[in-house]
Structure 1
């Protein structure tokens, strides 16, 4: 199977931060820049790129796809990634683009809104990480001072081992292919390109400096908290807080797209250790008062409502039959919603 689909060009961009792999496609109008999430790469955006009439650019983040593998300093939240994206756009001579961020990529787009507003004409957040970071309550306060239960020690080590080994099977629930089927898409989805999506997942570089990162002991249940290195620690509330977007002077219009059957980002997600504790999968759960399942959807909505109350604008669109990947699961509708959004903000 060809990794890069016909009609899409791959180039490498050298910046003062990294050597980045970039997929692009020509078109008319202001470019749309696509930012992928964790355990994925720009390959996931190719069908969308082919369906869009506008110029599109998809950037592999450090440690993913064909971009350079560099350590991730989690104490900066998602800034290592957002600074990388900014450096690539600067090198390409692009500014005031339409940014689309998927999952972790949604957080990267919000970080760009905070740090490089000149780059953001509009923002589309798809299945986005909650702006408050992981390990928080609805109001954004941390469940424990150290955001216990978040970070690099919260991932199943067998999944990481199978990533590192390049496992393409569906022999175990922790294999990347099985995780794609159970987590990335709604049950029954099959577009005939699953091998490509698994290949993209397997491009993720593993280790304490990348996926998943390190961790530290915690006095609070479940006994660990976020470390300072690697991917999963970047999104812990110990290091990340994107709620400052509500106070921006320049508030680009936001389109928030999510799938109704998203298994990863939800108000009681089984990718949240507090949910696992509540359902008896992780023992010793101290209860709702101490470790409530994180209301990720409600949290994002609360921030966007405040964003709108402070002079911004946002629109929430729910794909009723989709999971974590609306752009794959209902591409025609995603294209329609995205084009309406960017056309209104050109």
Structure 2
């Protein structure tokens, strides 16, 4: 790996799969696990580790299909179940025998919810998480627009972007280069990391396993617009509403404290995501859109709020913090404020 930030260590552990991870803080500290999302790695949390409060043992694994972790296949029919089981195995392999605080960014929001259903956790932080009903092609109540959930999954991935990932494109000559996609969709408009750091993060994205078992996954033809339905393998299918679901969160017992942080300018998870087919169809970018009564833009933020309000109504603690002007990664484009909010929340759970 390139030079790590002060106090950050890299290691591997054999759990359910061989997992590469970053770590900082004392080995006997309270465990905190940062879980990255799609097209990223644990290194997207590295900058939060130096200078963090001393009581926390911070861990940031690379998840299945990404980074330097064993490139095991993703069974999409389990939703993010493979990631959840890998996280449990990761903690067990490290000998973490007490409830951990879990942070799930984007895709990983669904994974950490599943972990909380499998074992006690100290808290859950949803960082611009995928909707509780998955990504793409649902109405407000989570019901799918089409029975086969067409318009979600690997079949809607941009083939030019996938090609550039496969070829290891580090350039900026196209809007679909990984570098430009990261800067346009991960952060607030106009935010740029220092060039050396940006290069590190682009290189991390390019470690993605590009295959039917990794990213984007396989796809099935569909008679429904836009002509592709989710398959059964790979990351984007695991995110499809056909398989991805954490709307049951209010039924958890016991209910860990929850924090939801969201960038108000997020274009990935939004009520009208720039990457979702309902939004793209309404804009005329994808032709043949059947209209808002059949395939509306997915109200992702409203869906998250609905589930967390139900969590509160069921007796759970759910704090909500919006970061005005931030994008899909407020832990990066508003790092100081996000870190202060997050660690204050952790402290509040320990009283």
TM-score, length basis structure 2: 0.95
The answer to whether the Cα contact below 8 Å between 2:110 and 2:244 also exists between their aligned partners in 1 is no
Q: Which residue of 1 aligns with 2:116?
A: 113
Q: CA deviation at 1:270?
A: 1.2
Aligned equivalents of 2:240, 2:51: Cα separation in 1: 35
Q: Which residue of 1 aligns with 2:102?
A: 99
1:294 aligns with 2:303: no
Aligned equivalents of 1:199, 1:318: Cα separation in 2: 29
1:205 aligns with 2:204: no
After superposition, the C-alpha distances for 1:250-295 in whole angstroms (9 at most, x for unaligned) are: 1111100011111111000111011110000000000000000000
Number of matched residues? 343
Q: CA deviation at 1:51?
A: 3.6
Q: Write out the 4+ residue segments of structure 1 that deviate beyond 2 Å after TM superposition.
A: 1-6
Query: Judging changes above 3 Å, is the alpha-carbon distance between structure 1 residues 250 and 165 closer, same or farther for their aligned structure 2 residues?
Result: same
Q: CA deviation at 1:191?
A: 2.7
Q: Say which SS state the counterpart of residue 49 (structure 2) adopts.
A: helix
Q: Say which SS state the counterpart of residue 31 (structure 1) adopts.
A: strand
Aligned equivalents of 1:201, 1:308: Cα separation in 2: 36
Written as runs of structure 1 = structure 2, the 5 A alignment for 1:236-255 is 236-255=240-259
Q: CA deviation at 1:7?
A: 1.8
Aligned equivalents of 2:193, 2:160: Cα separation in 1: 27
Q: Which residue of 2 aligns with 1:23?
A: 22
Structure 2: give runs of 5+ residues left out of the alignment.
none
The answer to whether the Cα contact below 8 Å between 1:212 and 1:230 also exists between their aligned partners in 2 is yes
Quote the RMSD (CA, aligned, Å): 1.2
1:215 aligns with 2:216: no
Q: CA deviation at 1:318?
A: 0.8
Aligned equivalents of 1:283, 1:76: Cα separation in 2: 31
TM-score, length basis structure 1: 0.97
Aligned equivalents of 1:29, 1:13: Cα separation in 2: 18
Q: Which residue of 2 aligns with 1:129?
A: 130
Structure 1: give runs of 5+ residues left out of the alignment.
none
Q: Say which SS state the counterpart of residue 243 (structure 1) adopts.
A: coil
Q: Which residue of 2 aligns with 1:305?
A: 309
Q: CA deviation at 1:190?
A: 2.0
Aligned equivalents of 2:265, 2:175: Cα separation in 1: 18
1:233 aligns with 2:237: yes
Q: CA deviation at 1:29?
A: 4.2
